[in-house]
Every structure is written in C-alpha cells, then in structure tokens.
Amino acid sequence: MVAVDLPSGVDADTGRVEGEAVRADATVCFGTGKPGLFVDPGAGYAGRVVAADIGLGPDLPAPELEAFDDADVAALLPAPGRDDDKYRRGVLGVAAGSDAYPGAAVLCTGGALRTGTGMVRYLGAESVAARVLDRWPEAVVGRADPGARVAAWVIGPGRGTDAPAAEELRGVFASQVPVLADADALTLIAREEADPSGRGAPTLLTPHAGELARLLGADRQEVEARRLEHVRRAAERFGCTVLLKGAATLVATPGRPVAAATAGTPLLATAGSGDVLAGIAGSLLAAGAAAHEAAVCAAHLHGRAATAARQGAPISATDLWEGIPKAVAGLGGGSR
C-alpha cells in the first residue's frame, strides 16, 4: 500500500486521525514531507516516508517541523578536541535513584558514560552510590549536593517526590548550568513544588504523554491525539526545551520548529529505557550541546542503540549501554 503525499484520513499538519484512515507501507511526498507524517498517531499510518524532489524548494515556507536523520545527528554530536581532558569533555551531575529505585541511578549513569561524558559525578544515598560503583567504578560518588561543580545536571529518575527531593530539585534549578528534569522531577513540577520557568541556564524536560498531561493539567488522551500542539504548549509554558517521548519522539523549543526523531522503535518500550535516555541527553548537555540539539541527538541515538544492541532482537534497558557506542559509530562518529 503506497500513499501519495499523505495517507487518506491523516491530518497533514497535526498527524491527527479521526475515524477511518489508510495504513500505508510507504508514503511518497512531493516537494517536502508533511508534519503529520512524523507525529503520532499519523506517523503510525505513514510507513516509510520517501521524499521526491520536484523543485518546490525555493517556494516553500519556513518549516513547522524538522525530521532528523543519521547525517543530521552526526553533524550535531559534540566531538572532543585534541587537547580535551575529562573536565573539558563535561562533568555530569546525576541526582537519580533512591533506596526504593536504585536501578534508575545505575541505568542513567551508564547511559551518560557510554555516550562519552568526561565524568559522571553521582550524588545520592550511600546504598545507591555503592550500586553505581559496583557497575561503574569510573563514576565519582558523593552525598547529594545541588552546589556540586558540574557542567550539567540530570535529576529525577527514581529519585522520589518527598520534601527533600523537592528541595533538591529547587536547588538544582537555582544553579547556572543546564538541567535535564525527568520522571519524579516532572511530578514535582506538576505539583508546583519546583518551577523551571525563568532559569538563566537551559532546561530540558523529558516527559511521556502522561507526565506531559499532568504538567499541563490536560487529559492524557487529548495529549496522545494532539501531540504536536501539546509539546509546543509545554515548551511555551515553561520557557524551555521539551522532549515528548513516544514511538515518534518530538522536541519543542520556543521560537524554533519542532523536531521529530525518526529512529524510534517499539524495542524501547521496556522498563528503564527512559533512564538511559536521560543519561544520553545529560552527557550531551555536559559536553556543551544546546538543549534542543542535545534532545534531538539523544532521541536518535536512543532509537539506533535499541536496534544495534541485539541486531533488532528484543532488549532490556541494560542492553542499550552496549548499543550506544555502536549507534555513534554507525553515524560515522566512531572517534567522537
């Protein structure tokens, strides 16, 4: 089944599907792709998207959405310089995991280290830090301290939502370095116990649809049906970059076209994969990537790593650690 320009029944601008729609194996676009082909649920009906250039380029308006492929991401990935040391490559502070969920700390730290961060400084309970060191002896561990000297923060995965966690999040937001907030940190933001708005440094929020619904006070089904609209709303609401996870991951930053990651795969629908994604994106932030580019590259590498880890066979989240270097090398970035 081949669709011409757009599968019938899919909204070209938003990807919404109301009622019957054609489910194509491939969609051939003339001139340029339509946003709805890269946004769920429409992306699930488009199949493989192929662009046929018919010379419309000079007459097209500015894009509403940009879809990134391997070559785009390879060009964006931070590459260490000849004289870089571990500090210049970026020190990432990780405030993840707790006694209840120690695995989140291990998964996030592994994602960052395998992406190439210069150092991970893990800050948390001694029992969790011991788990991190058992698996990643190269990590530096210590007690939680929002004032620690780092180039960027990842905070929230498995961290908890009690009063100390809220105080820690507020302290991290008060820092002058980029911050990635995920999972429990998003719950605290939704409860208005911490607010990233107005920070002087970049902020990246990484919700799934349910978390985005809570952040916006919206219905999850509405978010799922109108993902493009809601990710834009969240970016404007908090004045930061928002990565909306899903089969077709979207990245929104105020004043920029929304970005769509094209490497998504159902293999990522496994517990803990989001913790690894947070580590990947945090590593890129610590290396100096802007929040929008860090989010786009992280989402792409995440998908490519899932496929590369076991040659397309089912994976667990820990398999992603092995897939990340393969994914980078597959982009032509083996020396990065």
- The count of structural domains within the chain is 2
* Dist CA 131 CA 82 (whole Å): 33
Distances (CA, A) of 76 to 111, 232, 293: 18, 22, 7
pLDDT for res 335: 38
Do both 151 and 224 map to the same domain?
A: yes
Is residue 68 situated within a structural domain?
A: no
Mean pLDDT, all residues of the chain: 95
Answer whether residue 81 shows pLDDT above 90.
Answer: no
Do both 45 and 145 map to the same domain?
A: no
Distances (CA, A) of 292 to 139, 261, 279: 26, 12, 15
pTM across the whole model: 0.95
Do both 33 and 167 map to the same domain?
A: no
Over residues 328-333, the mean pLDDT reads 82
Over residues 40-68, the mean pLDDT reads 92
DSSP state of 201: S
Confidence of residue 11 (pLDDT cuts 50, 70, 90): very high
Do both 160 and 32 map to the same domain?
A: no
Do both 291 and 319 map to the same domain?
A: yes
Is residue 67 situated within a structural domain?
A: no
List the domain range (segments joined by +) for residue 9: 2-61
Is residue 26 situated within a structural domain?
A: yes
Answer whether residue 73 shows pLDDT above 60.
Answer: yes
* Contact between residue 173 and residue 238 where contact means Cβ atoms under 8 Å apart: no
